[in-house]
Amino acid sequence: MARETLNREQIVRAAIELLDAEGIDGLSMRKLGQKLGSAATAMYWHVGNKENLLVLAADEVWSEVRLPDVPAVGWRTAARELMYAARELCDRHRWLVRVITTYVGYSDGMARFQECAYETFETAGFRDADLDWAVSTPFMFVTGLAFMTSTEAAEVKERASRNPAAQSEEEAAVVAQAQAIAAKYPRLAASGEAQARRGESFSEQVDEVFAFGVRTILDGLEARLGARSDSV
């Protein structure tokens, strides 16, 4: 594919496919050029460097989020939908949270999402600095959890919880060492035993943690609003 037949949109979409398959470390202009049947120099010509391409790819995937109709559903439902939408987006594109937290860049796609978040918590009754913190707190939780579950360590935990036989010897040794350390601490040991009895996979445990976190954060924000109203 010659340079003149390429455009930025095609390159960004191909980059997203490569990122989804191989992650940030697997993305290079050379691989992208091979995927598109063009020279790596054509990639640079259209999108600049790799960092700029990552920002463009992040902007594109943010457009996948379906924003809630805040006046129609109310602030709490809207906030919950936004938190779940952000988590699902990070799960679909596991490289996204690293781009958000590592690379310098801002885009219309993320701004569109944040504007809806501001509308949501403004509708709830937050103002001024409290509005900023109400917007930031839920999504620090979402991105933090997404980061923790997109690591190699999380993949090892998932394999250990679903099918220990599928682990390599090295992974099995790491898991056994972690279990031996935890066994020395009674509360950690009790928690591990309880999780084992429930028979949940690591991803199922994360789902429960996420649901608990969403409810707790929204309960806390609602209580803050109520306390402020009582003091007026």
Instruction: Locate the domains of the chain by residue range.
Output: 1-48, 68-230
CA distance 71 to 145: 29
Residue 5's pLDDT band (boundaries 50, 70, 90)?
A: confident
What is the per-residue pLDDT for 162?
A: 67
Work out the average pLDDT over 138-148.
93
Check: CB of residue 39 under 8 Å from CB of residue 3: yes
What percent of the chain has a predicted confidence (pLDDT) above 90?
Answer: 62
Residue 28's pLDDT band (boundaries 50, 70, 90)?
A: very high
Average pLDDT, the chain: 89
CA distance 232 to 206: 39
pLDDT of 168 strictly over 80: no
pLDDT of 227 strictly over 80: yes
pLDDT of 166 strictly over 70: no
pLDDT of 226 strictly over 70: yes
What is the per-residue pLDDT for 2?
A: 44
Q: How many CA atoms lie within 13 A of 7 on its CB side?
A: 1
pLDDT of 208 strictly over 70: yes
1-48 folds as: Arc Repressor Mutant, subunit A (1.10.10)
Work out the average pLDDT over 20-31.
93
Closest CA to 214 of 140, 122, 126, 150: 140
What is the per-residue pLDDT for 204?
A: 86
CATH of region 68-230: 1.10.357.10
Contacts of 1 (CB under 8 A, 6+ apart): 36, 37, 38
The residue with greater pLDDT, 4 or 221, is: 221
Structure token digits, residue 113: 């999402």
Structure token digits, residue 122: 């403004």
Torsion of CA 115, 117, 121, 123, to 10 degrees: 60
Q: Which CA distances in Å does 231 have to 132, 148, 224, 225, 226?
A: 21, 39, 11, 10, 9
pLDDT of 66 strictly over 70: yes
